[in-house]
Amino acid sequence: MIHMFSHTATLFFLKWSFLATFFSFQVSNRAQNEINKTFEMHEVDLVQTLTDNVPGIDQDRLFTVIHEDAILGYAYIGEASSQTDTYDYLVVFDPSFGIKKAKVLVYREDYGSEIGSKRWLKQFLNKTPADRFVYRQNIAAISGATISVKSMTNAMNNLMISLASWQNNGTPNKA
């Protein structure tokens, strides 16, 4: 379902989009390309969804995906810990916050990169903020990537819990 913006809402988002260009997290070309591919568009606009940080969700990392004044969905660009470093990941949502895509954008270690495989990441698809992920129950283990698997599982749970809380009472909370 695609939601249409009113003229006032469009101006509000354009204002924040303009300001975000100067004051916020920069979306990588790789993330932008993955979002475009997910929505099967040549180019979509990304506008910060939140005007302030809220518990569990950094305002600079959650974006509303817009094309021609219609909300196509949302995108979250996160960072999680691996054994000795961090990795960047992308979660793309439909307008109801169902997961359309999960992708590891940058993995900075020699071991554990298997969590970036499409096969492993597909277990997050179509999940909603009401869903929870449990290592070795509904999230598969990967030999040699235990720390990264647990980290991604925790990061996804924290994000989904925050989104569920935000949807239910306007205040995201972290697990």
Q: Which tens digit of pLDDT belongs to each residue from 26-41? A: 899 999 999 999 999 9
pLDDT for 15: 46
pLDDT for the residue 170: 65
- Tell which residue, 150, 153, 136, 146, has the closest CA to residue 111: 146
| Tokens linked to 19 | 């300001």
What is d(CA 107, CA 40) in angstroms, rounded to the nearest whole number? Answer: 25
Contact predicate 136/152, CB 8 Å: no
pLDDT of residue 23: 43
- CA angle in degrees (0–180, nearest 5) for 163-38-169: 15
According to the model, what pLDDT value does residue 20 have?
44
Give the pairing type, strands 99-107 and 86-93: antiparallel
The model's pTM: 0.83
Query: How many alpha carbons fall within 13 Å on the CB side of residue 112?
Result: 21
Q: What was the pLDDT predicted at 152?
A: 96
Residue 145 to residue 174: CA distance in whole angstroms: 24
CA angle 85/24/150 to nearest 5° reads 30
Query: How many angstroms from the chain centroid is the CA of residue 109?
Result: 22
Hey, is 75 helix, strand or coil?
A: strand
Question: Which regions of the chain are under pLDDT 50?
Answer: 1-23, 172-175
Q: Which residues pair with 4 in a beta bridge?
A: 70
Q: Which of 108, 103, 81 is nearest to 93 (CA)?
A: 103
Q: Quote the pLDDT of residue 7.
A: 43
